[in-house]
Structure 1
């Protein structure tokens, strides 16, 4: 009998009695990261603004790998996540990133690491890219530290244009290996047949437009973020108790195979296809169950492979 299991990184069902406790936790997290709006006139070079590609000469990567959680959260251990964590950590190091790995991080542990990054302003000025990978339990809009849930938006806002101006116009990539709900993704089974060799793909067209700026520009707080999710909104995310998650496994493999002409969008699109169409959960009666990763881009430039930092 195969003892390896595919399980989901789901969150517990919260009863009405827990609502007030969670609200206090969220308030604590929000108050801890709140800062006065920095809406005054900063400076930025026009050449930097007009670049078509991000210039990545150095990068910071943080992998947060949560396996065991406080008893009161009623969350199972995330067996197999160490495989994911070591794989991503190694890959980021190979790409030349200043990498760090946090195991079983509480909210305070995460905040200490993020504040350490933000406080080193000289290093941030030289940093071309920030990557944060969170491997944990989650739900629709939150992820779990070992002691509490935290809104995804709250975590990402720590590095927005207002709170971390040193990273303005630089890519900030957040990778989430976590459930986003309790649903199971479904698909249809279709027979694969040979394509007609005379059939051409339709070409997509787009129109370009120019936006004229005055002397002052405003950078949206949401600009230059890329959120990468292991599953679609509302659905569970699988993880094998021995091999780790299919999403992180495919992402690590694609990063390893990344070619000179690849950009990060291509990498993520290939991961979407390999997990969405190639992964079959290893548990009884899985039938037509699927997992469809996705990414949401607020990037304002092209993001080439991360090889300039080597």
Structure 2
């Protein structure tokens, strides 16, 4: 009996410590096994694989495995890797999977990402997915991998998002007047520091890329469908007040038609291009019902693709080299996520202080880049992943975004986090907002079962972005 009690108390202590290490400190504890896997097609050069291996080891991954296979064989190789993780008896701290294939071959990486994110052995642990397109016959890695290897070796203690931002700054390529660079997609709930430092070590100094200069004019455009969306007006008021407090000159348009969505973006871009002084930052919030494939549904019921609105502003001459922020509060499909969590009885769970259930889409970082430093087509076919764009979705791809009479979880949480620390790095603040959103239990409109939500943060920022000095 004493053994059972002692064992139970030890489990309770471990579970409580795991919960507090993320909640209280805002960082992942990656003290378990760190394992990396490289999936490479036969056309990928040996030097590229060698550089990846050096990156993994600089970040503290004890186990670095490689599987060479055709792109069609990647899912099977990943499944075998995940089976080995399930068989591992000790805790797993972090997993990193790199998939490298000639440009254009790996067109649908979602299956790989989904398999990695659903791994039971990695529940609550950070999962990093690195998609690299390569050029057949290229003898040496390009700017992205070379920069990643150099920075990981020199500054492994940096949070990974900060490190990637610095790499993006070095990698960005100017072509025909438009800057292209890698892009990351994050649903992390805390800072991920993979270097040989404790999870509660001092904050590292900012990288050489420093911060965006926001001394020029700032402009915000809020496009919100209010009709038929209870609580939407509270979101508009909260976000409008935040923009005003942060020095944005704000334009609000409610209940736009599909045509008005496009026209307002075009007029907003033209106003910035004709602004007499320098412009340093733009923020666009798009709030509406969402379609089954992530479209925005205007007040007239017509669909607008958010990617078209992003492209509209990315061509703004006045914003070249400046951060462009997009906030999307809309459903991206009809899936309602029940989340993943411990299966203990309710009273036992409370006594053990077990971590709450979290969204099944949380704790994933995806990085899309070109191994040879050329233009990467990006994670979404037809999209322009140009530099200096930050897009934040209220929910994961294919999922419902929640809102009630008091407003949406996303907008209300984001405003609260930014008001509490407006001088903080925006990527870090968004990660904190995601942690808070992931912890919320939402009663689904179709049943009494509780649902979970998770933000998706897409970034091609090349510097730290702090909205208040």
Normalising by the smaller structure, the TM-score range is 0.5 to 0.7
Quote the offset at 1:278 in angstroms. 2.4
Aligned partners of 2:415 and 2:235: how far apart in 1? Answer: 9
Contact 1:189 1:288 in 2 (8 A): no
User: What's the secondary structure of 1:53's corresponding residue?
Assistant: coil
The one of 386, 390, 410 equivalent to 1:226 is 390
- Classify 1:107/1:78 alpha carbon distance in 2 versus 1 (closer, same or farther; 3 Å): same
Aligned partners of 1:52 and 1:136: how far apart in 2? Answer: 35
Gaps of 5+ in 2: 1-173, 179-207, 343-348, 355-371, 374-383
- How does the TM-score come out when normalised to structure 2? 0.45
Higher relative contact order (CA 8 A, sep 6+): 1
Contact 1:62 1:132 in 2 (8 A): yes
Over residues 243-269 of structure 1, what are the superposed CA-to-partner deviations in whole Å (9 max), with x where a residue is unaligned? Answer: 011111101111111153x11112111
Mapped pair 1:184 → 2:336: yes
- Classify 1:185/1:282 alpha carbon distance in 2 versus 1 (closer, same or farther; 3 Å): closer
User: What's the secondary structure of 2:442's corresponding residue?
Assistant: coil
Quote the offset at 1:112 in angstroms. 3.3
The one of 404, 411, 419 equivalent to 1:256 is 419
User: What's the secondary structure of 2:465's corresponding residue?
Assistant: coil
Structure 1 residue ranges, 4+ long, deviating more than 3 angstroms after superposition: 38-42, 189-195, 282-286
Which residue matches 1:52?
A: 210
Q: Of Structure 1 and Structure 2, which has the larger fraction of its residues in helix?
A: 2
User: What's the secondary structure of 1:123's corresponding residue?
Assistant: coil
The one of 447, 459, 463 equivalent to 1:297 is 459
Which residue matches 1:46?
A: none
Contact 1:125 1:167 in 2 (8 A): no
Which residue matches 1:92?
A: 243
Quote the offset at 1:159 in angstroms. 1.5
Contact 2:296 2:305 in 1 (8 A): yes
Aligned partners of 1:89 and 1:124: how far apart in 2? Answer: 24
Quote the offset at 1:114 in angstroms. 2.2
Gaps of 5+ in 1: 1-37, 43-49, 69-76, 196-210, 213-219
Contact 2:235 2:412 in 1 (8 A): yes
Which residue matches 2:468?
A: 307
The one of 220, 227, 232 equivalent to 1:61 is 220
Which residue matches 1:7?
A: none
- Classify 1:124/1:117 alpha carbon distance in 2 versus 1 (closer, same or farther; 3 Å): farther
User: What's the secondary structure of 1:158's corresponding residue?
Assistant: helix
Aligned partners of 1:170 and 1:103: how far apart in 2? Answer: 27
Q: Of Structure 1 and Structure 2, which has the larger fraction of its residues in strand?
A: 2
Contact 2:294 2:398 in 1 (8 A): no
Larger radius of gyration: 2
- How does the TM-score come out when normalised to structure 1? 0.67
Which residue matches 2:254?
A: 103
User: What's the secondary structure of 1:271's corresponding residue?
Assistant: helix
Mapped pair 1:78 → 2:211: no
Quote the offset at 1:300 in angstroms. 1.4
Contact 1:246 1:279 in 2 (8 A): no
Count of residue pairs the alignment pairs up: 231
Moved more, 96-105 or 221-230: 221-230
Quote the offset at 1:282 in angstroms. 6.2
